[in-house]
Structure formats: structure tokens, C-alpha cells
Chains A and B, each alone.
Chain A
Amino acid sequence: MGLLTFKGGVHPPHKKKFSENEAIKILPLPEKVYVYTAHSIGAPAKPIVEVGDKVKTGQKIAEAGGFISANLHSPVTGTVVEFTKLVNAASGLKSDVIVIEREGEDQWELLEKTDDHTKLKPEEIVARVKEAGIVGLGGAMFPSHVKLSIPKGKKAESLIINAAECEPYITIDYRMMLEKTSEVLKGIEIIMHTIGVEKAYVGIEDNKSKAISHMKEAVKNSSIEIVPLKTKYPQGAEKQLINAVTGKEVPSGGLPIDIGAVVFNVSTAYAIYDAIYNGKALVESGISLTGEGVKKPGNFWFRVGTKVSELLDYVGIIEEDKIDRVLYGGPMMGISLPDTELPTFKGNNAITVMTKDVAPNKETMPCIRCSSCVSVCPIGLQPYLMKKLADTRKYDDLTNNNLMDCIECGACSYTCPSGIDLTKSFKTAKKVVRAMKQRRG
């Protein structure tokens, strides 16, 4: 039987060998943390502390600024020393940062905890997840309590756990499955209980055979099923994953819940477990520090807000002139950092240091209509045409050609023999179209 997958996609080199056999190590506590009030999706959180306030680890320092927003907690025990602004690499704009200086070892301020989640009502769990400021750790950082609250009139049918980890280099989810197996499974059970489903599927790409067999062993006699998936990028994109596992398609412009699917990442399931059973707010998470430019790549447990340069100091990097770029995340969707003095977000699952010899330096040539971009697009778009429309600013035509369905996976740019920056154009065009919509009302 062929493995489950979706249509389209590409096969970038895995590059997981750098860190896949490295057990997760706990990094020493940072001296200073820089916590962005805005995480990538939703309204920024509103600070509730002032300069000079003493805070404990896990103590709330900012309140969610709306429904789609998440609370922030102090990643260390110490004093709030400054409110400042730092560049947010995702948008390129400056955004607010709370700076906390560490004093001594951790003193945790824990949230309410339980030793049996089945005693809690779904609403109580949603409230606790919200309180703990949990966001999706696959990279998009969507607030988890929003996903856990099933809208009226909709019903969750299947829970899908995203353990595809289809981005090259990144291995943290893989290590989580090997090392934190029971915690992750407990987290999955909590989610199942909360959204009221009988069955959960864990989708794992078949290049992680150790994780597949390990997890299969662990879920025996439970209602959690391990689903091996074909290794193909972007297998871990939410819509593609649902399609591979259930055979169903999320309607264009719709949400997974429209077809009864709810998707959570492995590490997010762990974070939910940690909040419900240990009362810990989301202030630390797993990360792969990897890439050709890193001397001792590995997987680590880091505090949110630690500077990238500090993380990289720990693993060591090669000579600066050989380094081409440093990324939040992996090479397919990762965001390149303007400098390494920027701090980490909750959702940073990897820092990838790429050297000049692996980074693309393709010369841009005219499109020869080779149709590679059309055949790899997992959404069935026509990137070559959209690029033409984007270049001539025909935004209405672009919208009619389903621009807004683009998931920005980068498969078209990856495959283009003419080295055309297709994905970049679509990202910009989507921003323009959104802005135009807002102005037109």
C-alpha cells in the first residue's frame, strides 16, 4: 500500500542528520530575556507589569489583547528592567518588547493544576490553556484556546496531531516523540477530551521510522493511531496533512473545523500537558539549533525571549564570513533574521544557520513555462500566471486566481529552474490585497 500523502509537493534534502540523534538538553538560564508582546497572529498582549516590578518564572506579565491573542508570562525570575522596541523579523517592523533581567534561580509561580484532566470540564481546560498563554508551536503561533473552542454549529470529528516535521533540518518534534512520549500522549488525550472526539491520528513522515515504531508501541490499546505519511514537503502544512490523513479537503477560504478536523502540533500537545498537569505557563519550549553553520547542532529546551546570539553561543558557530543567513525555523518557510541580537518567540522550533555554499544563489532568468511550479503546487494554483499578474499589479485578477489560497509553502520557488522568487511575490501581493480589502470596507 502506498503511504498517505497529498497532491503536488517537492522533495528537498532532509538535512536532519545534524541534530536527529541529539537528545534534548536544557540550556542554562539567560541573563536577560526580551519578550515580544505581539506574537505573529492576533492582537498584541497588554503589559500588566511596570519597570522595576519583581516577577517570578511563569508569572503573567501581559494580558491577551483580544480573543485571538495569548497571555504572556515571565520566562525567568527577576526584575522588569525596560520596555523597548525591537524589530520583528516576520514583519520587518519594530514592536514592543518587555525586558526582564534574571536574578538567581527559578522560582515558579504555577497555575492551577490537576492530576486527572478527565475531572475537568472542557470549558475549564480551555480556560486554563488560555491562562497559560499556549500558542501553536509548529511555527504559526495561533492561540491554542481558540482552536480548542469549537464554534457553535460545528462539531469536531477527528483530532490530527501534526508530527510530520516536513521542514528540512528541524528535529525537535521527532525528539519530543522519542523522549517525552507519555507527556505528549497525555497532552493528546487532554485535547481529545476537550474537543470531544473519540479518535486521534498522529501523522509522522516515514523518514522518522524510529519515531513511528516508538509511538506505535506507546499507543497500543488506546484510541490514538499512528499514521505513517509519505515524506514530502509540505506534508506538515495543516490542509495537506488533513488531506493526507482523512482524504478530505478543507474548503477554499474555510477552516479545518468546517470538515470536522482539528490539528495540533506535537510540541503544543506537550505544552498543554505541562499546563494542565504541572501548572506551567508557556515560557519554555523545544528548539533545534542546527544547520551547516553550527558547530555542535542539537535539540534544546530554551526560555522564550532568549536572544538568538545567546542560543548560538551555546552551540558555537563557524566563521562569520561563511555564514549566509540565520533563520527562525527551517529553510522552506523560515524567516531570515536581520541580525542575531533578536530574541526568540514562543513558536520558534528551530534556528537554522545556513552557510553560503548551501544557500541559493541562482541567477534569475525568464520563465520558460516549464510548468514545474504548477505541478508542485499543493493547492493547485498556477504560480507562473500569478507571478505575471503580481508583477503587473492586477490584484483583482490575482484574487480570482485564488491568490488568497496560497499557503506560502515555497515549493514553487524551490523548484523553479529560472530562479524566480514566486513565493515572495505572493506574500507581498497577499498583504496588498488584504490592505485593499480593509480600505474598501
Chain B
Amino acid sequence: MKFKNLSAPHLRTKDTTRQVMIDVLISLTPAIAVSTWVFGLRALYIMMFSMISAEVLDFFIVRVLKKQKNYKPDFSASVTGLLFGMNMSMAVHWWHMLIGIAFAIIVAKHAFGGLGQNIFNPAEIGRVFMLISFPTVMTTWYKPFANMSASVDTITTATPLALLKEYGANKSLSNFSYMDMFLGKIPGSIGEVSALALLIGFAYLVYKKRIKLMIPISIFSTVLIISSIFYFVNPTRFGTPLFHLLAGGMIIGALFMATDMVTSPMTIKGQIVFGIGIGVIALTIRYFGAYPEGVSFSIVIMNALVPLIDLWMKPRVFGTSKKGAK
């Protein structure tokens, strides 16, 4: 019998990149459900529109512009699109989103070489791009369970973080309880409001071993420690540690944006440094910056540092420590 010459190992896991992406999409379904419940069907349309247009655009680029005839979608663009949609405000129009998605897929992803080559998380870049390009739209927040037929003035409101920035912690916490923030009954970006739903999805990814777990742990610990110090210094101006965990994009950012495999460090040590960096920068912007929220910016800034982190935070090679070399 004749055989081809094949290389070891002759067994592989059933895991595929496509399956990783599908698992991420599955993990986001609880958040999609809660957002639809809180903001209505329009929220679902926004997320689906974003996801589908990102996938179609990606397919077009690879199939037509890069001429890969046999290309089968890997669903990475769907993940980007869905996360992008979840980071939108309810006030966004479809053409705003198309511009943002095009920027995310064309510039942030394919200009760098496509899947696996991008330095920045495309969804996060898309959101930052939107925040800078369409500031009014992106900071118009709808009340939870608002009656959409009413006038815009009566259904919009300020987010907990905006209230903290303007009026201090007392005002913010008198409008929203921690439980509201945990369940998602607060104004904010479509997909970020419910900490609970995001945590359930994240637990699924942890169970499936699809996530760099050390990143969120590191971000949350950093945020807790730093915000505790600031809370101790001035409780009314800086807000409680729990508030900073639950408000704004901290949870979605730490669980789903910072953990993007492509744009985060490879080693546990590197992931800890990355998480600390995100925590510090996000709180610095929240405390002292012009924006009430800083998670997106902090992730993008730390994305840029990943190559350096990977260079410095290498794993210890077996037999090279003082312990091994006598």
C-alpha cells in the first residue's frame, strides 16, 4: 500500500477558527436578548444590520478584491459587526453605521492584512471612529423601556457615567440602583447595559475554553483597586468601585473587546500587564478626561502596545531558570 507523506501529529482537536467565532456569537445572545427587551426591536435591527453588513462587506473584499475564489466565511466579520452594533447608541442611523463598519472592516482589518493581522480590535476602532465622527448621535442615550413614538427630547437621558461627570456620585446613584445597572435597566450603548447577560455569555466562553481569562480578571482587579483609592479620597466626585465596574462599557469591554484574541497578548504575564494598562487608562479618562467614558480608548491604546508586551513578556523557557540551571 502506498501513502502520502504526512506530518505528525496525526491527531488534531476538532476545534476550528470558525467554531471559535461561532462560540463568540453564541455567547453574545443573552446580551442581545436583554438589549432587545430594554430598548425594543429597533435595538435588534441595529445589531443584526451591523452584523450582516460587516459579513457581506468582508466577503466582498476577500472574494472580489483579494480574489480568493474558495473562500468560505470564517464569521470573524460577524463577530466584529455584532460587537460594533452592540456599541452603538439607539440614536444611530443606518448610514452612520455603514460608514463605521466600512472603516472597521476595510481600514482596521483588511488594510492590516485581514484576519489575524490587525493590530487594533476592528469593532473597537469602529466605535472610536463613530465617537469622534458623530459625537452627538453617539452620545444621545435613550431611556430604558422608552416609548419610541414620543418625541426625542422625552425619551433621551444621561447615562450613569455622564451624571457622575456632571453632578457627582450622589446624583448618579439616586437615578440608578446597582441592581438596575446589573440587570441592564439603564441608558447606554445597546449591548453594554446588562452586566448579568454579558457575564452569562462570558461564562459560556470560559466553559468552552475560548477566552483569555486573565485579561478581564486583571482589568477588574485594577479597576477595583484604583477606584477604591479614589473613592476613599473623594467619594462624591469619583464614585464607588462597584459603580465603575457596572457603569458604561467596562463589562463588555473587559469581557468581549479586550479579550479579542488577535489584538491581545499571548502570555499570561502579558495579559496581566495588558489588563492593568486598560484599567488604569480607562479610569484616568473617566476621572480626568473630556469624555465620561474611557474603556474604548484604553483598549485601543493598549492594543497598540501588544507587540511590545509580547516582546517583553515571554514565557519562561523550560530549563532556563535559576531553578533548572544549577
The contact size tier of chain A is: 35 or more
A333 within 8 A of B: yes
Q: How far is the CB of B166 from chain A (nearest CB, A)?
A: 40
Q: Which of B1, B13, B268, B314 contacts A382 (CB 8 A)?
A: B314
- B8 & A423 in contact (Cβ 8 Å cutoff): yes
A254 within 8 A of B: yes
Instruction: Write out the residue numbers on chain B whose beta carbons fall within 8 Å of the beta carbon of A7.
Output: 318
Once A250-B319, A368-B17 are accepted as A-B contacts, the answer to whether A419 and B6 lie under 8 Å apart by CB is no
| Chain B contacts with A in 272-326, Cβ cutoff 8 A | 310, 314-321, 323-326
A contact face: mostly helix, strand, loop, or mixed: loop
Comparing B126-134, B250-258, B259-267, the segment that makes contact with chain A is: B259-267
- B15 & A366 in contact (Cβ 8 Å cutoff): no
- B9 & A410 in contact (Cβ 8 Å cutoff): yes
A149 within 8 A of B: no
- B1 & A252 in contact (Cβ 8 Å cutoff): no
The CB with the most chain B CB atoms within 10 A, among A13, A332, A367, A370, is that of A370
Q: How far is the CB of A317 from chain B (nearest CB, A)?
A: 9
- B321 & A368 in contact (Cβ 8 Å cutoff): no
Binding site for B on A (CB under 8 A): 7, 10, 12-13, 92, 168, 239, 243, 248-254, 258-259, 309, 320, 323-327, 331-340, 352, 354, 358-360, 362-363, 365-371, 374-375, 377-382, 384-385, 402, 405, 408, 410-411, 413-419, 421, 423-424, 427
Identity of the chain A residue whose Cβ is nearest the Cβ of B12 in the assembled complex: A360
B174 within 8 A of A: no
Q: Which of B18, B76, B310, B321 contacts A249 (CB 8 A)?
A: B321
- A365 & B9 in contact (Cβ 8 Å cutoff): no
- B5 & A92 in contact (Cβ 8 Å cutoff): yes
Instruction: Write out the residue numbers on chain B whose beta carbons fall within 8 Å of the beta carbon of A243.
Output: 318
Q: How far is the CB of B253 from chain A (nearest CB, A)?
A: 19
- B318 & A252 in contact (Cβ 8 Å cutoff): yes
What is the CA–CA distance of A405 and B314 in the complex, to the nearest angstrom? 15
Q: How far is the CB of B203 from chain A (nearest CB, A)?
A: 19
- B3 & A338 in contact (Cβ 8 Å cutoff): yes
What is the CA–CA distance of A147 and B54 in the complex, to the nearest angstrom? 61
Q: Which of B12, B115, B263 contacts A366 (CB 8 A)?
A: B115
B168 within 8 A of A: no
- A331 & B266 in contact (Cβ 8 Å cutoff): no
Identity of the chain A residue whose Cβ is nearest the Cβ of B117 in the assembled complex: A366
What is the CA–CA distance of A63 and B271 in the complex, to the nearest angstrom? 56
- B7 & A248 in contact (Cβ 8 Å cutoff): no
Instruction: Write out the residue numbers on chain A whose beta carbons fall within 8 Å of the beta carbon of B318.
Output: 7, 239, 243, 249-250, 252, 378-380, 405
Identity of the chain A residue whose Cβ is nearest the Cβ of B321 in the assembled complex: A249
| Chain B contacts with A in 176-197, Cβ cutoff 8 A | none
Instruction: Write out the residue numbers on chain B whose beta carbons fall within 8 Å of the beta carbon of A252.
Output: 317-320, 324-325
Q: Which of B4, B8, B114, B320 contacts A251 (CB 8 A)?
A: B320
Identity of the chain B residue whose Cβ is nearest the Cβ of A374 in the assembled complex: B266
A-B contact pairs, 17 of them (CB 8 A): A250-B319, A250-B324, A251-B319, A252-B320, A252-B324, A323-B1, A336-B5, A368-B20, A369-B261, A377-B315, A382-B267, A382-B314, A402-B317, A410-B8, A416-B12, A419-B16, A423-B9
